[in-house]
Chains A and B, each alone.
Chain A
Amino acid sequence: MAATQSEIPTAPAAAPAANPLFPLVLQLADTSLILAHRLSEWCGHGPVLEQDLALANIALDLLGEARSYYQYAAELEGQGRTEDDLAYLRSAVEYRNPLLVEQPNGDFAHTIVRQFLFDNFHYHLLKELQSGPDARLAAIAEKSVKEAAYHLKWSSEWLIRLGDGTPESRQHLDKAIATLWRFAGELTTPTALETNLQELGLLPEYAALLPAMQAHAAHVLAEATVPLPAAPFAQQGGKSGRHSEHLGYLLAELQYLQRTYPGLTW
């Protein structure tokens, strides 16, 4: 094709105007998918059958939510990529999940603390997103917030049982809190992308979610007889694609089938 005068010959082909929602929806999808995968690793290994089932149920809810986001993200991008391409054919540096959700399961207390920190954010975020201006995102949030309420109740109750349980359970819980609390800050610290979307009114202000999140955490920790952990330092980077080494190993397993047998569909 002949170049027109207005084109700058050395510039790369201009990308179509990107929908600012696309990276946000993708980040939400990655977050739910990665945590769903981590929880699914418990399947068959839970401490008792009922809690094995609970972990698998929560994983399934998050996987369903992730699919809804990936399908929407694929439409927003409009480049012909499908939900499968987005979930299975991106590398670790392209993932936008916060670091918390990719952390390994550890023991049951470790998984509970990770889940509690995530659920407390997730539930309160969805509650706001369901009345947001984007109809599709609101519909996904309206569907998922009902499920997230069960998740938060479950992880809160387990945090209390472990904290106010036996010296043994308390020791495991304390260790998990010492390891994981530093990852909580990333959830509510907006990236440049999130700040931009918050200014556009497409994403709730995280500062507005904090009072309810902190009230719930304070209530649960008090019931668990655990002092509120100090969090002077927030480990960040996942939402910008700077991940811990754990994500690569996780994706190697998650993406194995699609990369070995390209074109398989869910």
Chain B
Amino acid sequence: MVTTSSPAPTEARIWQLLEEVSDPEVPVLSILDLGIVRAVAVDGEHITVTITPTYSGCPAMSAIATDIRLRLLAEGYRQVTIHNQISPAWTTDWMSQAGRAKLEAYGIAPPIDGTASGHVLNLFGQDTAVRCPLCKSAHTHLVSQFGSTACKALYQCDDCREPFDYFKCHA
């Protein structure tokens, strides 16, 4: 039997470790910044982490579950259950302020609250005014609602001409 010298897990310690697990598709964000960790429960040696997907088909979810297990295993925590919960549905409101700042510094425009595309009859509506993460100009336009991953839209800056990703508001 392998024995471990790790101290018994505490919820606070697990939250700390989860801060070190990043989103594989947006590596500048931790999974806590992204707001997908809904709960941590510790029962003796047993740890349960509840996560929620951003989009239904997000292919990063299984990678994230594996990364959580590996990070906890590195600390000697072997009894880990990852619970997937879809309700209440994830919203960008759960993204931390620190996460939004990190996104912009990384070159991805952070979500602007209250601009979710909920009105399907608002066709060809006004594009959400998104600030260019590079030159900070507000003169940008939407290229496509569907970007490099499910959670992002594609924009282009009209001033510096740089194409960039916008993390869609999802509420």
Contacts and interface: CB of A to CB of B under 8 A. Distances in A.
Interface of A: 50-51, 53-54, 56-65, 67-68, 123, 135, 138-140, 142-144, 146-147, 149-150, 152-154, 156-157, 160, 216, 219-220, 223
A150 B145 contact: yes
Contacts of A65: 56-57
Nearest to B56: A64
6 A-B pairs closest in CB distance: A64-B57, A64-B56, A139-B87, A60-B57, A54-B146, A50-B144
Given A153-B123, A156-B123, A51 B144 contact: yes
B35 to A, nearest CB: 15
Nearest to A51: B144
B154 interface: yes
B121 A219 contact: yes
B92 to A, nearest CB: 11
B145 A147 contact: no
B59 interface: yes
A54 B55 contact: no
Given A53-B148, A153-B145, A147 B55 contact: yes
Contacts of B56: 61, 63-65, 67-68, 143-144, 147
A143 B121 CA distance: 20
Interface stretch (B69-77, B97-105, B112-120): B112-120
A54 B89 contact: no
A146 B89 contact: yes
Contact of A149 (B55, B57, B120, B124): B120
A160 B123 contact: yes
25 contacts: A50-B143, A50-B144, A53-B148, A57-B147, A61-B55, A61-B56, A61-B57, A62-B57, A63-B57, A64-B53, A67-B57, A135-B87, A139-B86, A139-B87, A142-B86, A142-B89, A143-B87, A143-B90, A146-B89, A146-B118, A152-B120, A156-B120, A157-B123, A220-B123, A223-B123
A146 B170 contact: yes
B88 interface: yes
Contact of B144 (A53, A67, A139, A149): A53
A153 B117 contact: yes
A63 B150 CA distance: 12
Interface string B104-136: 000000000000111011111000000000000
Given A60-B57, A61-B55, A143-B86, A50 B146 contact: yes
A143 B89 contact: yes
A152 to B, nearest CB: 5
B138 interface: no
Contacts of B122: 153
Contacts of B26: none
B160 interface: no
Contacts of B55: 60-61, 64, 147
Nearest to B61: A64
- Residue among A140, A153, A219 having the largest count of chain B Cβ atoms under 10 Å: A153
B58 interface: yes
Contact of A68 (B86, B144, B148): B86
Contacts of A50: 143-144, 146, 154
Contacts of A62: 57
Contacts of B145: 54, 150, 153-154
A142 B146 contact: no
Interface string B41-64: 000000000000101111100000
Contact of B146 (A58, A123, A135, A219): A58
Nearest to B116: A146
